[in-house]
Amino acid sequence: MQCAAATSRCGAIGDSKLTIGTNGQAGVQQESGSCWARSAAAEALDESIHLLDWSYIGYHLLVNLLTVDAVNYTLELTLCPDVLLACCDPLNVAVISLPAGLGPCGWLVGHTLAYFHAAFAWAGRGWRRHATLLACQLLWFFFEMLTFAHVLAWERLVFYDGAAGTHNVTTTTPSLFHADAGHPCASRPYFSTWIPIWQDFPYNCLGQLLGWAAAHWVARERRERRLL
């Protein structure tokens, strides 16, 4: 499809100029080849965009946003008033300690379960839907980070110890890999339960992979039962 579309766009240009002399033909062929490459790249980008299910991506972002708001605001109003939520959140306690901060906690396990459900119940064995889920992971990460960056800035200003608590609220940006100096409970998996961490991705991918494997296993079992 890409080659055909690119040829239809660029072939006429090259053909119309091939009547130029021998020296001119080389230049025309180079121009036509450059046009074909640009058109093929545009076609590839267009197909990649249409490969994804953008309605599901919008649904995914909305559900995640509402879930984070509901859980965090409920905890702030009940169990964790007037304290840094990351230090009080019962879902932000590592069950076991693993290298690189990969120890499981309630939030990370929740990520695995959520992506397992999405992969099994929605994506199934369809590779395009699984590509959409991978896009959801990336888009949610940056969407959450940018949407709640002001909350992290406020937490730094109010709850961090010493000079670290004097960050300017309007210029503070999230740290993706570790808690900043002055954090009152830096050993917790999330330095802010409003902000994503890179450890989300291994747990997300684990859930998606398990969901894909489960979908294939169920399909195989159903096929074997039909053959009995």
Residue-wise pLDDT tens digits, 163-181: 444 544 444 555 556 677 7
Q: How many residues does the structure list for the chain?
A: 228
Give the chain's domain count: 2
Q: Which domain holds residue 39?
A: 2-50
Whether residue 5 has pLDDT greater than 90: no
For the stretch 13-42, pLDDT in tens is 444 444 445 555 555 455 555 655 555 555
Q: Are both 155 and 90 inside the same structural domain?
A: yes
Largest CA distance in the chain: 83
Q: Are both 44 and 135 inside the same structural domain?
A: no
Rounded CA separation 138/116 (Å): 16
Do 145 and 174 contact (CB within 8 A), yes or no? yes
In Å, how far from its chain's centre is CA 111? 12
Q: Are both 148 and 60 inside the same structural domain?
A: yes
Q: Are both 39 and 123 inside the same structural domain?
A: no
Q: Are both 89 and 197 inside the same structural domain?
A: yes
Q: Are both 112 and 200 inside the same structural domain?
A: yes
Close Cβ partners of 228 (under 8 Å, ≥ 6 residues apart): none
Q: Are both 85 and 141 inside the same structural domain?
A: yes
Q: Percent of the chain having pLDDT more than 70?
A: 71
Q: Are both 83 and 35 inside the same structural domain?
A: no
Q: Are both 123 and 29 inside the same structural domain?
A: no
Confidence band (pLDDT; 50, 70, 90) for 137? very high
Exposure pattern of 82-118 as b/e (b: 16+ CB <10 Å)? eebbbbbbebbebeeeeeebebbbbbbeebbebbbeb
Average pLDDT across the chain, whole number: 81
Q: Are both 35 and 56 inside the same structural domain?
A: no
Q: Are both 142 and 112 inside the same structural domain?
A: yes
Q: Are both 39 and 63 inside the same structural domain?
A: no
User: Which residue, among 186, 179, 160, 194, has the nearest Cα to 75 in the 3D structure?
Assistant: 194
Out of 30, 50, 70, a domain closes at 50
Listed range (25-29, 143-147, 203-207) with the worst mean pLDDT: 25-29
